[in-house]
Amino acid sequence: MWVPLLLFAAVVAVYLPSVDHEFLYDDYEVILSNAPLRSIQDLGRILTERHFLSLPYYRPMVRSSLLLQRSLHGDEPGPFHLFNAAVAGLIALIVFALLRMPVFGLRPRWAWLTAAVFALHPVASSCVYPIASGRETLLPALFVLLALYCFLRPGPWWRVGASVAFALALFGKEQAVVTLAIFALADALGMTSAPPGRSLRRWVVRYWPEAAIGALYFSIRHFLFAGGEYRLGDLGQFALSFLYALQVVTVPYWEMVYEPPARVWFSPWRLAIGLAIAGWVLLWIRRSWPAVRAVTWFWLGWFVLTLLPTANLLDQEAPFAERYVFLAALAPLFLLAWVLSNREKNGRPRLWTGLAVAVLLLLGAQTVTRGAYYRDYEAFCRQWVKTDPQSLNAHNSLAVVLTMDGRLQEAGRHYEEALKIAPANAQARSNLANLRLQQGRLQEAHDLLQEALRLEPDSYAIHNALGAMLLGQGKIEQAIPHFARAISLNSENQQGHANLANALAHQGDTRQAAHHYREALRIHPGLDHVANRLAWILATDPDPELRSGAEAVGLAERFCQPPNDTNPMFLDTLAAAYAETTRFPQALETAARAAALASSMGQPELADQIRQRMDAYRERRPVRYSRIQWRTSGPSLRHD
């Protein structure tokens, strides 16, 4: 067992320094903006939630793993990175076991080297270093490979294992839908122990579990997105997707080049080297064609099928990305290993093995070097801007980082650069408007949002932004129509419901506010701040028909779990809810904790308010407010 253990240890060791890295980019929306799992009900809820609020992704298995980790160790990034490194090690083990199967027949040394190169390739690093976006590829890839391994093993229990692994892969990422086609390809090429042959009935019987899993998956997707995600992509970039994959596998960039458009990644000399290597491999395979025909067709099919979901047939967020290539990379690596191992039989075994080891060391060094670009959000964004100065998203993301750090002037320059790149982009104007609002340049912010709305009058996000700005200025009557319009444009827009509820609560219309808070929580149950405001109304509103102390306690106890158990506003709400249900000793104890926390966090006004409520609890009186109590805990991070 020391051979596979050494493989696992080597892969994890290369990625282990990433435990000192921070959160970046999608981590804020996918991890930090969502509540950790607190119960089995939360786990079930994730099965009916979007992965991103703004994108048509459904990935409950990956989402569950991330939020479960947040429940276990809070907002420390190190354990998230360690998990990704461990999954990379497990992938190497599965690839090693897969390539040692008789149907592929690589000798142990070459199977070990191929698995190591696959897991330590720079393409793989783009699936390990970023926590959220990396795991969205890494974890499903693990289950796709495990599903194939189980499928190729004879016996009914292995067949069950293949179906379970397929389900875990598919509910991890959309790309895994091609696993069924990979199974069928292996059967059609006679690589399994019991291929269905030409019997339609045997095909149906063999694949009904995967068909049922797929039907369930697509039913849930249709419930969430109503088919709106299936938009035709840029077919002009279809062939380029395969050329990009060949280029980054054979001659990867030393530095990180994140989601590059064709004008950035296309390199004639790199592509020429890639095509030359591919031609050399196919030429040598041709010499042994009868013996390797089925395996060659399988891996060529693997390369095409695993790239197909991200080959721009359907509209996608980024036309090209290294993480799209990760699974496909195993095909050229296996075929190259097969050729080198067979050349070794003809003599000079040390030469060919030495060449493979040198390639492994070179690629591993590239992967180690790339780690520096993922150490924190700013390093990541600056490298993105450096490699693609014309990227709207790169400048926007760097501006977000700088805004977080309080460097508003520099952030403004990058937002302005984004506007130069895309002057007709309404979202770019909206982002700059948010910054100007923070700088106190209210008129400029208002003008930018009005211009953004002129460019994109049916943008619910811009209506939300304009309404939020007006609400912040106390112009509630002007803000409410924008929030209502945002909801009419997108009824599943949780931010619009939450914003409208805030405005209505400001006016004292707590009944309608509670309705819209409930709608926001229906769409996204993990919004703790929204749940907090709803619980406050349920615990403190003067209207007895609106109050519900038991529901308020249930909500408040839920969102006061770690890491929110140190949030004084949340504890204040829980205390009010306890008082509403006549649990005054608990209300006093909880309020005392909240007041102490507020004082220690430099919020004396909130601490004084809580102490005033404690006087009521000592007299065994609940508190009543006709308007929602407005309290803040600091700015939230958004990047559009």
Which amino acid, 520?
A: A
In the DSSP assignment, the letter for residue 172 is T
Q: Does residue 341 surpass a pLDDT of 80?
A: yes
Q: What percent of the chain lies above the pLDDT cut of 90?
A: 60
Instruction: For 394, list phi and psi in degrees, rounded to 5.
Output: -65, -50
Q: 389-457 and 459-525 share one CATH topology?
A: yes
Burial 431-443 (b: 16+ CB within 10 A, else e): bbbbbbbeeeeee
Given a cut of 50, whether residue 593 has pLDDT beyond it is yes
The model's pLDDT over 610-623, given as tens digits with 9 standing for 90+, comes to: 999 999 999 999 99
User: Each residue of 252-283: pLDDT tens digit?
Assistant: 999 999 999 999 999 999 999 999 999 999 99
pLDDT value of residue 438:
83
pLDDT of residue 629: 53
Q: Read off the pLDDT of each residue in 583-605 and give the average, rounded to a whole number.
A: 93
CA dihedral 145, 147, 152, 153 (to 10 degrees): 110
Can you give the residue ranges of every domain in the chain? Answer: 2-371, 389-457, 459-525, 547-629
Alpha-helix residue ranges (DSSP H) falling in 456-581 = 460-472, 476-489, 494-507, 510-523, 528-540, 549-559, 568-580
What topology does CATH give the domain 389-457? 1.25.40
Strand partners, 232: 314
Say if residues 373 and 255 touch (Cβ distance below 8 Å): yes
Q: Which tens digit of pLDDT belongs to each residue from 559-585?
A: 887 766 788 999 999 999 999 999 999
- Which CATH superfamily does the domain covering 459-525 fall into? Tetratricopeptide repeat domain (1.25.40.10)
pLDDT value at residue 435: 87
Spatial separation of the C-alpha atoms in residues 33 and 49, rounded to whole Å: 14
Identify the pLDDT of residue 639. 30
